[in-house]
Amino acid sequence: MNTQTPSLSEAAAPLPRIAVLATGGTIAGAAADATNTAGYQAGVVSVEQLLSVVPALSTVARIAPEQVASIDSKDMSTALWTTLAQRINTLLAADDIDGVVITHGTDTLEETAYLLHLTVKSDKPVVLTAAMRPASALSADGPLNLLNAVTVAAHAAARGQGVLVAFNNKIHSARDVVKTSTYAVDAFHSPEIGALGWVQDGRVDFQRSVVRPHTRATEFVIGANWPHVEIVSSYAGVSRIAVDALVTAGVRGLVVAGTGNGSIHASLAHALADAASQGVAVVRASRVGSGHVMRNGAAADDALGFVSAGSLNPYKARVLLMLALAAGGAGPVALQKAFDTY
């Protein structure tokens, strides 16, 4: 047996140290029996239990687990967003943390991911993952998604790519990814744009990189000030009642999930134009699910004081609008610049 201590040059570099922050979700869900994938309770399995069923993690990284929350992500709040983003920024500022993985519910994952993409102040990898089947299920998808997320976070190529989502072997940019299925294991896609790359059997392969500014290159700083922004939708027979009530409630911004290219029913358009004339920020997105909304395409944005969301869906447009308003952005010109930039 060779008992010699290796020389410095032969000693293997220590594995990257990755913080795994658990927030709940189906990945931490449990049902009464293993065949139940719909009637379960989300967010009841601890981060230690999640890690314990994936022994291969120890070959990829040194894990620093933290239980930040235990919620069903349908109940995500702006207060928890503040806590999570601040914790990530604190961890990444430390020399002994090389990256962060966040386990999250799938329902609002795309919103949290985009929020972090705009407010994390580090080049170190930040990767979200989740699961469509609870931890108790036959063929649970969480363990492999977790291993893949840590594998991506531990990989040098993930540095500087902004916040990433590792799900079902694909690596997506937080800006582009959306949930596209209520039940399928392949539940996340980046419509039209496609994934950034893939992760499989320990291999990480990026095929393209993120062009729009993110993380350290944004003016957004996470705080506890969340301007009140709501989402309304355009559909056959829609009235102006909801918009008028929200304006009366003091909303600072409204995102409209319009039809097609962000077109808006005349009743709703009149109400939104009135809102804009009172200083409420109005952003036109689309309910379609892919494509983009052209400025001055389906509405006279210049004349009405509206902003176009480009390729952000209504939920991500709301995240950007809140951050832009919190950063002091005011008026359609400044807000349009934010949407054209991020």
Joined together, the tokens standing for residue 124 give 């170190």
> What minimum distance in Å lies between the beta carbon of 6 and ligand ASP?
44
Per-residue contact flags (x/-) with ligand ASP for residues 222 to 251, judged by CB under 6 A: ------------------------------
> What minimum distance in Å lies between the beta carbon of 314 and ligand ASP?
18
Strand ranges of the sheet holding 306-308, from the earlier edge strand across to the other edge = 229-233, 253-258, 281-286, 306-308
Closer residue to ligand ASP in complex, CB, 105/253: 105
300 by DSSP, 3-state: which? coil
Q: Is 107 in the site for ligand ASP (CB under 6 A)?
A: yes
Which stretch in 72-80, 143-151, 251-259, 307-315 sits in contact with ligand ASP by CB under 6 A? 72-80
d(CA 252, CA 247): 8
- Return the bridge partners of 66, or none: 21
For every residue of 186-247, DSSP letters joined together read S-EE-TTT--SEEEETTEEEE-S---S--GGGSS----S----EEEEE--TT--SHHHHHHH
| Nearest residue to ligand ASP on Cβ basis | 105
> What minimum distance in Å lies between the beta carbon of 118 and ligand ASP?
21
195 by DSSP, 3-state: which? coil
Name the active-site residue from 23, 26, 103, 112: 26
Q: Is 141 in the site for ligand ASP (CB under 6 A)?
A: no
> What minimum distance in Å lies between the beta carbon of 210 and ligand ASP?
25
Q: Which DSSP state fits 177?
A: -
User: 332 CB contacts (<8 Å, ≥6 apart)?
Assistant: 276, 281, 301, 305, 306, 307
Classify burial at 263, counting beta carbons within 10 Å of its beta carbon; exposed 0-12, middle 13-18, buried 19 or more.
middle
Per-residue contact flags (x/-) with ligand ASP for residues 34 to 53, judged by CB under 6 A: --------x-----------
Which stretch in 24-32, 53-61, 141-149, 211-219 sits in contact with ligand ASP by CB under 6 A? 24-32
Q: Is 130 in the site for ligand ASP (CB under 6 A)?
A: yes
Strands (E), 138-207: 163-167, 170-173, 178-179, 188-189, 197-200, 203-206
How many residues at the interface with ligand ASP, by CB under 6 A? Answer: 12
| Amino acid at the residue 205 | D
Closer residue to ligand ASP in complex, CB, 110/176: 110
Closer residue to ligand ASP in complex, CB, 18/130: 130
Whether residue 26 lies in the annotated active site: yes
Per CB under 6 A, residues contacting ligand ASP are 24-26, 42, 72-74, 105-107, 130, 132
Active site residues: 26
